[in-house]
Amino acid sequence: MPYHRVDRWGGRLAEPLAAGPSSVTTEELDPPAIVRRDRQIPASDDRLAAPKDGTWRSLFAPVRAPAPPSLITRHSSLLLLFFLLLSSCTRLGDLIPRPLPDVVKIGLSAPFEGTYRYIGYDAIYAARLAVREINEGGGIDGWRLELVAYDDRGEEAVAEQVATSLVVDSDVIVVIGHYLPRTSSTAGAIYAEGGLPHLVIGESHLTAGFAWHLTPSSPQVVDAKEAAGADLAVPPYAAVGTGIVVGTETVTPYPRPQDLAGTQDWTASYKAMGPHVPEPGPYALPTYEAVYIVAETLSTLLGEGDRPNREMLGDAMGRATRDGWLGLVEWAEDHYWASMPFYHYRWTDDGFQLVGTVP
């Protein structure tokens, strides 16, 4: 049976002694340590008597090993734990996992790195803002939007890979992008083959049936240039800071949000999408409007038990309309934005300044 030495306060010392009571020398055991303890032992107790050989006998307390818990005790502990957990729940339904909401995926592809990364910044924050607003408003007949964003780097080879990935993902029912003519054309051919609707932002020359252009047609561009007496702004006009002569005038279909009346709250919400979000640029509002065009079109299609799909959306997109920050969106027969407004800008010492709109 193991034994333990008792300390001066009546507690058991940590180290057990291998055998029964044994003796230690006076250098190893201080006699007062035995005497000053919580409980009193009669002075006549022979355990405190100094033996004739000049050593002190240590005080030992036999310790029995605890018995293992019985099977009943273990089951009782488990039952107690279960009832404690049950009582902490307001109702039994709290213990049952809730089903995940139904999700509709919207693809977004833009250059997030490289020369044109400012386009991607405009696009991602604007799309996220629109998705958040729609989901917080209850979604689309119980369906929630999910944004799937890809960086095409503004390169045709990467855009081809991105388009293939989006076509393969059957949950993606529409794509917004690619913002540059070369990437939009390359990816657009893949979307057309895969039957994936494509909302095109930025200049492009796509003629596929499932491509819808949030851009003006060529005749509209000619008319706007003649009306303003200015050339059409190249896509990166807002990022160009050098090499432009003061007094240069341009027209563009994509204004800076801060140049439109009443956008202060929208701009604040946009900048609240992250810790270091820059001012929204010219591609922010068309991307934002594109997400809402998809959501509002789907809301007119979905009935009880209907599941959104590419074919459903593609067939209905031609009838889609939206009156938003950029005016009334309606599609012409060639799938371009009919009567898209233009904005007349002039380059000054302080940068591009809005002159007015071109009817």
- What DSSP string runs through 237-265? GGG--SS--TT-EEEES---GGGSTT-HH
Rounded CA separation 266/80 (Å): 54
How wide is the angle at C-alpha 74 spanned by C-alphas 69 and 75, nearest 5°?
Answer: 150
pLDDT in tens, the chain (359 residues): 444 444 433 444 444 444 444 443 333 334 433 333 344 444 444 444 444 444 444 444 444 555 555 555 555 666 666 666 555 554 544 444 444 558 999 999 999 999 999 999 999 999 999 999 999 999 998 899 999 999 999 999 999 999 999 999 999 999 999 999 999 999 999 999 999 999 999 988 777 678 999 988 888 888 888 887 776 664 444 444 445 677 888 888 999 999 999 999 999 999 999 999 999 999 999 999 999 999 999 998 887 568 889 999 999 998 999 999 999 999 998 899 998 899 998 888 888 899 999 87
Which of 157, 153, 194 has its CA nearest to residue 175?
194
Rounded CA separation 110/239 (Å): 16
Residue spans of beta strands (DSSP E) within 78-221: 103-110, 144-151, 172-178, 198-201, 211-213
Q: Which part of the chain has CATH 3.40.50.2300?
A: 103-358
**Superfamily designation of domain 103-358:** Response regulator (3.40.50.2300)
Q: Which two tokens stand for residue 158?
A: 């990467």
Q: Are 225 and 231 in contact (CB under 8 A)?
A: yes
DSSP secondary-structure letter at 94? G
Q: Are 113 and 151 in contact (CB under 8 A)?
A: yes
